[in-house]
Each structure stands twice: as structure tokens, then as C-alpha cells.
Amino acid sequence: MQRELYKIDSLTLHVLQRVASYFSDHHTRAYLVGGALRNLLLGESFTDWDIAVHGDAPRLARRLADKLHGYYAYMNEKASRVVVKEDAHGLSLDISPMLGDVIEEDLRQRDFTVNAMAVPLDNLIQHFTTAAPLTLIDPLQGLDDLDARILRACNEGIFRHDPLRMLRAVRFMARYRLTIESHTQKFISRDSSLLPRAASERIHEELYTILRLPGATERLRFLDQHGLFTALFPEFIAARGMPQPALHYWDVLEHSLESVAALEHLASLWQQSPQEIACSPLENSEQHDLQEVRTLLEQAEQEGIFQFTQLTAPPMKLAALLHDIGKPVTYAVDDEGNIHFYGHPQAGVPLAQQIMQRLSASTHDRRLVQQVVAHHMRPGQLSQTTITERAIRRYFVELGPAGIIVALVSLADHLAMRGPEPLARTWYNHLATVRLLLTRYIRERERILPPRIIQAEELMRRLKIAPGPLVGQLLDYIAEAQAEGLIHSKDDALWLAEEKLQQSQAES
């Protein structure tokens, strides 16, 4: 077989030659298999070399690590890893035992036909060194599927054997621009309820990879069409078909999915140059505000309080997806037939925490999603009133730099509300409000959030009060007066706090 493969560097080839020699010396059949061979045939880069061997794979891998002066790690019953470092060059070899006496038996038990091919390792070395024809072992015609960009299950039981493969199928579909063939899609729909049986850490890894790729909403819709979305997020079952107030075009579920697409759309706008934004079909005021928000975000990135990569990172997309997760449990219709979701941000917080914990998300990611769910309504609510400096200060006192993230997700929420309908004036007010919030925090932070004049410990000591909510309330009261220029010293702060304390005691 003659085919243009991914070009490997000389150091990698040297290590592979030593690996092939080692297995030959031990009279062990060794094959390049799986994702490594798939990517090699696609001409795409990869980091892990998957090698199937006949024999005691862990023992062989450990001795191979010694021979190569590398590092050995036992991963699981399916693979041991050998990591080789040469100069600044690193190579990872995943050594797994063959399933069956011959390689064809092993390949027929793999997940998808595009991963069910093998090449003898010594033949691969000969191909790279002498241009010898490649001896491809392909019992399920995986190469034909790879050329046709088709993802096909090796057999109908692959998802029952390992339910995580259903998410892996969606990842492969997105990553390699593959079409999942019809029978494989039917197997996914049939076995979708089995997905929660997979380890949460593995689900987390696959889902984050799916979300990280552009077009996440399209992938989420595929998950939903095949029963995987509500297997992952049963909290959304009641959201399907749940109507919303008049300004909303979508039901609760569709709006949640569209919010992820809206976030990606905004991120793509802010990745454009000012000239490109100016050429887009936007109103002048919208262009100006979007350009200014982009400029503010660039400044925030320089200050280390924001990163553009955050915008399309999986936690942000999860935050956009889950921002209205409290709506299904707060749905109500009044006597006039008006739909309400009173308190849905607060109701959504424990549900979001439950989901993120189930996904084995990090503390940082759980916190980000919780903050967005709890506060995503605030920028829009501020846009409906005269915005005071006190309101801006309170917003950032509670949220800090996360207030930037919450404001940006609130814009995605608003965009997703209208669907194909024209944007209303409320959108332009909302965008202008977010611009104002970001301006105050990024450019005027020291003015709206000046350093505390007095710390909690001294306040408690001087006023002889015990720790508790009252201390925080007094510190907040002092900070507001300080930001408004009403006090300028510690004595002023103590006098104001004492007066407020006496007033509170008199009222009680």
C-alpha cells in the first residue's frame, strides 16, 4: 500500500526503530494501531503512539522503558505507558495487550472501523526508512470509511461494552469532520440511557473536548437527538417545550442551547479587528459598543483579570448552557396567563452545583458556573433603570473579575432570546450597560472599589461588636460612603459605623 503519511521527525523515527528492535529481540509481534495509525493515515499530528503486542504487555513495557531510559506508568489493564525524553523531545508509547491470538481478532473488538486498522511496527519502520509498501491490516475496511469520512461501529455491542464510546463518537465526528453512519446512530439512540454508567471523570474529559470545539450547539443538538443530552443533564427534561414570556422565541431548552451558540458568535465578533466589525451589518451604536467592549477586554487581559480564551472554554459554554437551569422548577402562569420564573437564578444554583459535581468539574469551574447562574439577570436588570455608581460597585464587590464573565454571558443570553426575530431596543440598552460596567471596573476600579479604610478586626475591636453579618454590613456601608467621597479617613469611617450601629440598635 502506497499512501502519503504524516511526516515524523528523525528523533521519533530513531526511538521507533529502537522500539521495533526491542520487540523483535523478544520475538514479540508488535503493531501500530488505533488513533495513532488513524491520524498517521490522515496526515494529522498526534502525541501518543498506540502499540498492541502479543504477550505480557505490562512486563514488556516496563523493560522497554528501562532499555530506552524512559519512564514507565501502568495506566489500566488495557495499557501501560512509556515516556521517552531525548533532549527537549518527548515521545509517549501506549503499550496494550492484543485481544486474541491474532491481530485481526483484536481489531474486530475495537470501537470504530477507522480505529480498527493495524500495521506491523517493523513494516512501518521500513516504510519510513526505505519507502517499502505499507502492510495495512484492515479486516473491517476502515480505510474506506476513513477516506469517505464515515464513522462506523465495529459491531452493534460497542456502546454496551463501553457507554463512553457514544460521547467519543460525537468527539470524533466533530474533530475529524466525520458523518456517523445510520446504523451506528441507531445503536447510540438505543444505548443512550447507559451513558451515566461511565466514570464521571471520563465523561468530563469527553464532554469538555466536545464543548471546546467550535459549533458546540450543533454537537449538543446531536446529543439531544440521540438521547444523550438528557442522559447527561436530566434536569433539562422538563425544559423541552416549556414556553417563555413573549419576548422569547425559543422554549427553555432551545434557548439554553442557543445561548451557547450566541456566546460563540460574540467571541468571534470580538476576535475581529475594529475594521472588520465596522464592515459588519450592525447598527452604528452597536458597532461602537462592541468595538469598545473588545478594547476593554484587551485591556483586562493585559491586566491579568480576563483572558479571551475563557470565552470559548468549556466552563463558559457550560455556564451559558446552564444559566436558566432554575426555570423548569420555578415555572408559573398567573391569572392573566402570563408566564413567570420568579427566583429562577437562586433556584438554579443548587441544580448547577449538582450537575457540575456530577461531571467531576474542578472547584474553579463549579464556582464560575454558579456565579453565572446566580447573577446572569443583573446586567439586564440594570439596563432597565438609571444605573447608579452604588449599583455598579455592589455588582463588582460581590463578583470581582467574575463580573466580567457574568456580563458577557448575559449578552449571549439576550441574543439567544430573540431567535430569528429582530433585536429590540432592549438589546442596545443591555449592550451599553455591559460596556458601562466593564468601563467602570477595568478603567476606574480604584475609584469605584477603593482600598478599605478600616479592616474587620479593628472595626470589631473599636466598636466592641462580635463577628457576624453586622460586621459585613457595616464594612459595606463604609465602602459605599468611601466610593461616593463622603468619608476620607479611618476616623470618618468609625464615626459613620458608630452612627449606623446606633441607628440599627434604636430600630430594633
What contacts 24+ positions apart, CB below 8 Å, involve 59-67? Answer: 60/23, 60/26, 60/28, 60/95, 61/93, 61/95, 63/22, 64/19, 64/22, 64/93, 64/95, 67/18, 67/22
Among 3.30.365.10, 3.40.50.720, 3.50.50.60, 3.30.460.10, name the CATH number for the domain at 1-141: 3.30.460.10
pLDDT (0 to 100) of residue 89: 74
Element (H, E) at 109: none
What are the angstrom distances between the C-alpha of 176 and each of 101, 168, 172, 491? 31, 12, 6, 66
In this prediction, residue 505 has a pLDDT band, given cuts at 50, 70 and 90, of: confident
Sequential DSSP letters for 145-196: HHHHTEE-BSSTTHHHH-TTHHHHHHHHHHHHT-EE-HHHHHHHHHHGGGGG
Give the whole-angstrom CA distance, residue 8 versus residue 21.
18
pLDDT (0 to 100) of residue 186: 98
Q: Is pLDDT at 281 greater than 70 in this prediction?
A: no
- pLDDT, tens only, 214-266: 999 999 999 999 999 999 999 999 999 999 998 899 999 999 999 999 999 99
Q: Which three cell numbers stand for residue 403?
A: 463580573
Give the whole-angstrom CA distance, residue 174 versus residue 213.
7
Quick check: 354 and 379 in contact, CB under 8 A? no
In this prediction, residue 276 has a pLDDT band, given cuts at 50, 70 and 90, of: low
Other C-beta atoms lying within 10 Å of the C-beta of residue 386: 6
How many residues can be counted in the chain? Answer: 508
Q: Which three cell numbers stand for residue 7?
A: 511526516
pLDDT (0 to 100) of residue 369: 97
**Position with higher pLDDT, 14 vs 275:** 14
**Position with higher pLDDT, 311 vs 505:** 311
Q: Is pLDDT at 174 greater than 70 in this prediction?
A: yes
Give the whole-angstrom CA distance, residue 226 versus residue 204.
19
**pLDDT (average), residues 357-373:** 96
pLDDT (0 to 100) of residue 82: 93
Query: What is 149-232's CATH topology?
Result: Hydrophobic Seed Protein (1.10.110)
**pLDDT (average), residues 150-163:** 97
- pLDDT, tens only, 457-500: 988 998 888 998 888 888 888 888 887 778 888 888 888 888 88
- pLDDT, tens only, 69-94: 999 998 877 789 999 987 667 889 99
Q: What Rg, from alpha-carbon coordinates, does the chain have?
A: 29
Domain spans of the chain, in order of start: 1-141, 149-232, 242-448, 456-507
Q: Is pLDDT at 33 greater than 80 in this prediction?
A: yes
pLDDT (0 to 100) of residue 1: 64
pLDDT (0 to 100) of residue 146: 96
